[in-house]
Amino acid sequence: MGIHIAKTRFLAAGLLLVAAVLLALSGCSDGDEQPTSTSSITVPSGDTETTVSRTTEAPDSLMTEWERALRDTANAQHLLALALDEKSVPTDDPQRAILYGLKARVNALSCRNAIEKSSLAPDDTERVKQLELADVAMKEVYAALNRGRAIAADPMAKTLADAHAIVETLGVPSNRLEEAAAMLEDFIEELAPLVDEAIHEAAAPTTTLTSTTSP
């Protein structure tokens, strides 16, 4: 029961972020209905649980490049988390460090997407809203990296350390938008291999999962 609750709480932030981004796309249509598929997930909010809808398929034409990457990263994170849970891998096992790397990438993508949307905002209110979202997402990036590095073993420890070094001095992205955008893009690229690795590991039939991202 404890492992299940911890796993659910870990997934909450990443899945809730991708839910919010993808659900927002429903308002971007020019009026024509687009085929999408939705499912319900239960995520904790404080000491309670909330059920939200998560869009699992949306027309790529309505998504930014950051939203498409966010969707793919969050899906890979979810698949691997389920696989590790099925194998009863402890929540503090080094094998779970990759999940925190994926969570950091999800939030970095959310941050980069918000920065882009802030530049396209129709008014100051929307611009401020997007910049606030970017700042919150960046805090989650640092939190996920710290959690992952705390339990990681090589080579994943090196992967997360290298990624952390890219954004270590970034701080609050709304204070330095151009620099933040460049740093985030490098960070997102650095962790890109984790997506395919997670999908591969999730499909592995063996009882022991290992990370091979860094040499």
The whole-model pTM stands at 0.71
What is the model's pLDDT at position 28?
35
- pLDDT over 90, % of the chain: 60
Which of the residue ranges 7-11, 52-56, 64-68, 209-213 would you say has the lowest mean pLDDT? 52-56
pLDDT over 60 (residue 57): no
Contacts of 97 (CB under 8 A, 6+ apart): 148, 149, 151, 152, 153, 156, 157, 160, 211
User: What is the mean predicted confidence (pLDDT) over 116-121?
Assistant: 92
Q: Could you tell me the residue ranges of all domains in the chain?
A: 2-203
